[in-house]
Structures are given as C-alpha cells and as structure tokens.
Amino acid sequence: MEPIACTGALRVDKQVDSGHRATRRWNPVRDIMDDTQTATLSSTGILIAAIGRGSRAALKRLYELESSRLYGIALRIARRPDIAADVLQETFIQVWQNARSFSPERGSGAAWLTGIVRFRAIDAVRKLGREILSDDPRLGDEAIEPDVIERIDAKAEAEALRRCLEQLDDSQRRCVVLAFVDGFSHAEIAERLAEPLGTVKSRVRRGLLSLRSCLQS
Amino acid sequence: MIPTNSDDLHALAGEYILGVLDPRDAGEIEAALATNAELRRAMGFWEEKLHPLSALAPPAEPPRETWDRIVARLDGAARRPTPSLWSRPAPWRWATVGLAVAAAGLLVYIAATPPAPPRSFVAILHAAQQEQPSWLATAGPDGLLVRAVGAAAPPGGKAFELWAIAPGAAAPQSLGVIPGDGVFRLGHLPAAIRDGATLAISIEPPDGSPTKQPTGPVVFVGALRTM
C-alpha cells in the first residue's frame, strides 16, 4: 500500500528544490536538508518527524547519517553481514512506516533508532540461531572486558551511564554489556561466562536495579 | 503477570530492553503496554539511559545495495513475501500509536454493546500511517466477526485475506478470504485468537494465498485485546 502521507513528501521535496529560500518562512526540516553541514545527530529527531510526514528525502538523509552506526550495531549482534544487512533494511522500512509514532518528548531519535535495530537484530538471531563465535575481532568477537566502558562516548549523556556502570561489580557489568551490546539472552550469557543460569539472571537484575538508582540520583 | 512493585517493574522493563527475556515473558509485557503507563515510562527510561552503550559496537559500512533494496520495498517493487514482514516489529515502540484513538473507539464500541460474554476480544485494524480504524474485529464464544469500518476495497482482481498471528508464533495462520461486502464471519474461535494476538489483512489473489502464507503486502494490522 502506498504511504498515505505522500502529499506531504511532495510538498517538502518541492520546497527543497524550489530555491526561494529568502522568501520562505523558517522550516527546520527543509533547512537541514538544504544545508547538510548542519545535520548532526541532534537533527535525527527532526528528520524522523519529516519522515512521519512522508518525506523520502528525509529518509534518505537519515540513512546517510545513521546507516553505518546502525549497521555496526546489527553486525555486532548478528555477526553475519548478510543478516545485518537484512536487519538494516527492515529497520528503515519500519522507520518509514512508524515515524509518526515517534515523539521527541519521549526520548532522542538516536535512541529510538537504536531500539529498533537492536530489537530486529535480536529477533533475527533468535529465529535463525546464533553463529558460533569465531574469535575474529573484525566481527566483534573479542572478549568483553570490564574496562570496555572506557570506550563509551564521552558525551554528557554517556557520562552518567559510564559513572554508574563503574559502580557495578565486574560480573554484573559484564552481564549488562553482553546483553545490550551483543544481544545475548540470559542463557547465552550463562554459556559464555560458564556461570549457572540463575546466577546470571540475578546479576542482570541486580545490575539493572543498581544502575537505576544511580542514574536517578 | 506484570509486577506492581516499582523495583520489580523496572527490572522487568530493563530486562525487556536488554533483550534477555524469553519470548513468552516478552509477549506478556507487550500485551500489557497498551494499558500500563508506568511500564511504558520504565521502558522509555531504559531505552534512553542504556543507549550510549550501543557506541561499543563499532560503525561499519553496510553493503552498497542496501539503500536501493529499501527504496524497492517502499516502491512496492518487491511484492514477494518476506518472512521478516511478520517478525515482531519492536512492538513496544508503537504500542502507543493511535492508542488514544483506539481507546476512544473502543470506549464508544463498548458503550454501544451489551455486557461482554467471557473470553471476548476486540481488535481495531489500521492501515500503516493512518489513525482511523479501518476494520473492527470482535471475537467471543460464538466465533469471530471482522467488518470494514471505512470504505476499504482491494485492488481490482484481488481479495483481502485475514490472518492471525498468535503471540510468539513464527508464522501467521490464514483465517480465510474476506468476502467482497467487507464482512467476515467465522463460526468458531481458532486457537490463535487470544489476548495479544495480532490480526492482519493482506492483498491476495481472489481465492486467497496459494502458499498458505501471505504473498501480497500487509495493508491492515491490529492487536487483539481481552474485553
């Protein structure tokens, strides 16, 4: 079925092409697409809003800005380029179909996209079965060490998470990272760390509760 | 059962966002989202707060043809069935799409209906990107009734086929082709019709899909809820 909001796409795209900038009222979506230099991650939410109104140009721009980040997340979880590419494709189809449900008050556009691609990737590996880890560092198979959080972005939003992750036990932190970054289930974490399933479940839970109380403070 | 205790609820929401839950528990959470604002807030909290961890996955260039494949899908060029269409689409993220609308519609519907018999379900099916309900489905001990709310007709020479996807099911189950008058009746209740199941309508040949799986695009979708 053709997207319902295609008239919106025509309008936005036409404005981009028409070139009468000085006489037009300010429009963040149009201006970001006119001037790609200003399009940073913070523009993600604006692009998603434009996609929700049916702009293909905004979808293409979002792909240019976000596809390598999202593909990296999918590849880390799926560990197979073909599956990761399918996951990325499906992610952008869903972005197109569901962009209208995105509301910036509920969170950032980047987190929204990450949520979709992780969900899709985890869904794919649970359905297809996971590849045996290859110890190939190019596929992200290197061991997860507790100091891995040093590699988290130094942005302010990440700083709080880093600080709170540092307060967890090494074992709790390892469980949380294996689950989020590698998309491992309880059982897969238990196998990977050679720990009983119940122990892993309780570490994940206690890790989350410590994180929550730290992140709220 | 979704806990009411704040710690338990937040731990469960965090486990869902981490992706460690088994499909049964995850399905239970998804079914509760529409009615549990506290749960939705907890999910939003974790998605936002854990997001920086995703930077630990190094970015990588996707295969060059990926964008073209996306465009082809959007243009409807790829009309062959894609199993992934039926994968669960990160349901918690759009459980609230049109929720207010659906809830309002539901209230009107319930107000206009005599007290429901036990084990009754209702679903409102929408087209992607549209908030107006397109189909209303009601199910109870007498069977299933699905009827068009707005003007909805399949493209020429095609028919609408109704599908049910039970929570956690790998594949949709055909319930049959919807007659041309837009009213579909079933005298019994298939096992797939239960709380949290999804109803979907795809465009198929006049006699229905030849493969027992959807072959055309899925044009309407809605979740079944216990009344």
pLDDT (tens digit per residue) in B204-221: 888 888 888 888 777 788
Domain membership of residue B48 as a residue range: 6-55
* Closest Cβ–Cβ partner in A88, A158, A204 for B20: A204
The verdict on a CB contact (< 8 Å) between B20 and A186 is: yes
Q: Would you say B203 and B110 are in contact if contact means Cβ atoms under 8 Å apart?
A: no
Whole-angstrom distance, CA of residue B93 vs CA of residue B163: 22
In a domain, B154, yes or no: yes
In a domain, B71, yes or no: no
Q: Would you say B175 and B186 are in contact if contact means Cβ atoms under 8 Å apart?
A: yes
Q: What is the mean pLDDT of residues B139-146?
A: 85
Distance separating the N- and C-terminal Cα atoms of chain A: 48
Q: What is the CATH number of the domain that holds B203?
A: 2.60.40
Q: Does the beta carbon of A84 lie under 8 angstroms from any beta carbon of chain B?
A: yes
- Please indicate, yes or no, whether residues B38 and B87 belong to a single structural domain of this protein: no
The verdict on a CB contact (< 8 Å) between B52 and A120 is: no
- Please indicate, yes or no, whether residues B108 and B204 belong to a single structural domain of this protein: yes
Residues within 8 A of B (CB atoms), A 169-208 only: 176-177, 179-181, 183-186, 189, 204-205, 208
In a domain, B129, yes or no: yes
In CATH, the number for domain A143-217 is 1.10.10.10
Nearest residue on chain A to B155, alpha-carbon basis: A1
Whole-angstrom distance, CA of residue A121 vs CA of residue A108: 20
Domain count, chain B: 2
In a domain, B222, yes or no: yes
pLDDT surpassing 50 at residue A7: no
pLDDT surpassing 70 at residue B104: no
pLDDT for B118: 54
The confidence band for A116, taking pLDDT boundaries of 50, 70 and 90, is very high
The whole-angstrom distance between B173's CA and the closest CA on chain A is 18
* Closest Cβ–Cβ partner in A72, A151, A215 for B49: A215
Please give the residue that has the higher pLDDT: either A194 or B130: A194
Q: What is the mean pLDDT of residues B12-35?
A: 87
Q: Would you say B20 and A184 are in contact if contact means Cβ atoms under 8 Å apart?
A: yes
In a domain, B76, yes or no: no
- Please indicate, yes or no, whether residues B110 and B169 belong to a single structural domain of this protein: yes
Interstrand relation of B159-165 and B198-204 (parallel, antiparallel or unpaired): antiparallel
3-class SS shares of chain A: helix, strand, coil, % to 5: 75, 0, 25
pTM, full prediction = 0.59
- Please indicate, yes or no, whether residues B32 and B104 belong to a single structural domain of this protein: no
Is ipTM beyond 0.85?
no
- Please indicate, yes or no, whether residues B15 and B111 belong to a single structural domain of this protein: no
Which ranges in chain A are annotated with CATH 1.10.10.10?
A: 143-217
- Please indicate, yes or no, whether residues B117 and B174 belong to a single structural domain of this protein: yes
Q: What is the mean pLDDT of residues A102-116?
A: 86
Ranked by mean pLDDT, the top range of A28-42, B91-105, B148-162 is B148-162
Residues 6+ apart with CB under 8 A from B73: A89, A93
Nearest residue on chain A to B73, alpha-carbon basis: A93
pLDDT for A142: 53
* Closest Cβ–Cβ partner in B18, B54, B94 for A101: B94
Which ranges in chain A are annotated with CATH 1.10.1740.10?
A: 1-133
Nearest residue on chain A to B203, alpha-carbon basis: A1
- Please indicate, yes or no, whether residues B166 and B98 belong to a single structural domain of this protein: yes
The verdict on a CB contact (< 8 Å) between B56 and A151 is: yes
Question: What topology is assigned to A1-133 in CATH?
Answer: Rna Polymerase Sigma Factor; Chain: A (1.10.1740)
pLDDT surpassing 90 at residue B42: yes
